[in-house]
Structure 1
């Protein structure tokens, strides 16, 4: 299997893609949770909304991957990434792992688009 690095610096060196994704998850959550009122228009522009995607706003298939509705949601997604990401990054390599992560997130958002109603909104990296 794999062993997690004993310190942050070693973890970043061994698993740079996982570390970068974790940083993006945490930074996005902090940014939007600390100033959601001021950033509400950006949040609304980035969140996955099925009706908007159907009207051509295709970035909404990607942007929800790094957004989370609350701390527990972000923590659960980040914990999964921290637990399983290093093994996958090492097994697949950096590029393939990143492609799998983003592709999985987009795939989950496409499934949401087809399976749920137009007014449904979605965020998170659970599908990634």
Structure 2
């Protein structure tokens, strides 16, 4: 099996698309890369959830009135951290938060607004 038969990774795809746009600054690519990292971290935790005591309810409800699962809360925190770390986001909105998420003072911010539900369907 050769590497080319495995397919294109998300990072390779992002970089290839960025190179197609001569005026690209890399800001959006960095944002997508951090979202990909968040997805990997969340996936790893979901795969070991039963072993890591991260199943069940937190005891709180989200903006939709649904009971918040521990995995939802974890995924939400991971997504917020990775988006903040990217330096490309100025504001975020999540199903798990009642209000928009404004980055703390002193953090580098960018021009993108991101809305997310990082672990949709966890109550299923």
Higher helix fraction (1 or 2): 1
Higher strand fraction (1 or 2): 2
TM-score relative to the length of structure 2: 0.34
TM-score relative to the length of structure 1: 0.34
Instruction: Name which one, 1 or 2, has greater alpha-carbon Rg.
Output: 2
